[in-house]
Chain A
Amino acid sequence: MRLETEEVAPGVSKINLTGRLDIGGTQEIELHFNALAGSQRAIIVDLSQVDFIASLGLRLLIVGARTVQRKGGRMILFRPPIAVEAVLVSSGTDNVVGILRDLDEAIHAVSG
């Protein structure tokens, strides 16, 4: 599992994840991910290169989004592949963490 960050707009971080958010993959990135959630106020999590997710990965995303929200910020999910989006929907994660597919829209959503 790989985690990279880029600043896609002033104050807006995009976290690019690559690989599987399975148990092993989630363990590999969770410290780094949680640190970013704890220090940033506007986060776009790019899931376009994530080909698997299960409940540990969902937990990472939900806890991260909550951490950002508590600071008055916002985290959204960006371009999950269909199979990953199906898990986000089945688990109701999409009810509480927004999913967007357009980068400008995503930047606008987290910048508010």
Chain B
Amino acid sequence: MRSAADADTAFTLRIERSMVALAQLGAWLDTISASLGLDKAAEFALRLCIEEAAANVVMHGGADTGGDPGFVALRIEPAQDVLRVTVEDRCDAFDPLHVPAPELPTNLAEAHVGGLGIHLMRHYARAISYERADDTNRLTLTIGRGG
């Protein structure tokens, strides 16, 4: 059962832009998933979208205007049927939605091992939007809550 209080509860996490910090996401998402009683499909989609979005900022975000190493700020806001996820950073302006879809690999020797994150997020999120304001990149993802 979803409680009415869900709509008022947002989960936030601010992590340093580092691979070590990204490893914290798993446990954070465990807590949120249990708290919201997400079904497996919704949990999978949430985990994938958060990981890919945060990893993109850490691995490809470029310079951070707020100082080194900078941060990634995550917010998950549950609504009745969806989760609204916001990922913010103060790196160089970068709209991931303008990244062309990757060519999927056809042979192992030439398979690219990067660039799949955006592609996968598009697959698992119902909607994605990007805006740049106040020197901040803000990626917003809408994820189905299942059930």
Contacts and interface: CB of A to CB of B under 8 A. Distances in A.
A91 B25 contact: no
B111 interface: yes
Interface stretch (A4-12, A39-47, A60-68, A104-112): A60-68
A96 B105 contact: yes
A20 B107 CA distance: 26
A22 to B, nearest CB: 5
**What DSSP secondary structure best describes chain A's contact surface?**
helix
B133 interface: no
Nearest to A87: B120
A105 B2 CA distance: 46
Given A24-B25, A55-B116, A83-B44, 15 more contacts: A22-B26, A23-B25, A23-B51, A24-B27, A25-B26, A52-B44, A54-B47, A54-B51, A55-B51, A55-B117, A62-B108, A65-B108, A66-B108, A91-B116, A96-B107
Interface of A: 20, 22-25, 27, 52, 54-56, 58-59, 62-63, 65-66, 69, 83, 87, 90-93, 95-97
